[in-house]
Amino acid sequence: MSPEEFASRLMLRPFQDEWEPDYGRFGPSGNARHAAVLIPVIPRDAGLHILLTKRSAHLRSHPGQISFPGGKHDETDKTLLDTALRESEEEIGLDTRLVKPLGWLPQFHTISHFTMSPLVALVDGEQQFIANDGEVDEIFEVPLDYLLQKKHQFFLTPKWQGKPSKVHFIKYQDKVIWGATAAILQKLIRHIK
């Protein structure tokens, strides 16, 4: 899929909330904090890739988990776009001049009481990424074509606070993408198919 076709599919199709995982049903609460993440879509010779990070193992929140670059909204951020770009610059050395925002996926309410706004953007393939070792252990890319194949996705239904909770997983090489990150990827995939 070309960057142009991807952008067209993203922008021309209405978003649908047919499936929302249980952990996304917490809804906004009075104490929810705002966050924004960047879904970097990178054109490569072999097709489009999605950039992800492995969070540092020593972080207090979600250590060692796979995530998108991004984070909490700061008072200095005028908009959530500013949040997504600032956090991505801090975490992966993103040159924000090489980013073309395409649009926002629907907000996602996390189990950790964040209202997360995912920004989909094309990122120039010439960009050199540098992991901030205080926050990120690894930066890697997953081919979009790989993510489009259902055989790499699965669900488990563990109990959360005594109730079964459907959790989405995606296996890629030696990595397991799960939780909010996998759910957001799944929404993106369903939207562009």
Report d(CA 61, CA 179) in Å as an integer. 14
Question: Looking at this protein, which amino acid is placed at residue 6?
Answer: F
Give 106-156 pLDDT, tens digit per residue: 887 777 777 888 999 999 988 899 988 887 888 999 999 999 888 887 676
Q: State the burial class of residue 117 (Cβ atoms within 10 Å of its Cβ: 0-12, 13-18, 19+).
A: buried
State how beta strands 99-104 and 167-172 pair.
unpaired
The second-level CATH assignment, the architecture, of 3-145 is Alpha-Beta Complex (3.90)
Residue 111's pLDDT is 72
Q: Which two tokens stand for residue 124?
A: 């120039």
List the domain boundaries for the chain: 3-145
What percent of the chain stands above pLDDT 90?
A: 30
Measured between alpha carbons, how far is 12 from 30 in angstroms, rounded to an integer?
33
| Structure confidence at residue 21 (pLDDT) | 43
Cα–Cα distances (Å) from 97 to 2, 71, 165, 166, in that order, read: 21, 19, 40, 38
pLDDT band at 97 (very low <50, low <70, confident <90, very high): very high
Dihedral through CA 64, CA 28, CA 160, CA 151, nearest 10?
Answer: -60
* pLDDT confidence tier of residue 40, bands split at 50, 70 and 90: very high
Residues 135, 72: Cα–Cα separation, whole Å: 13
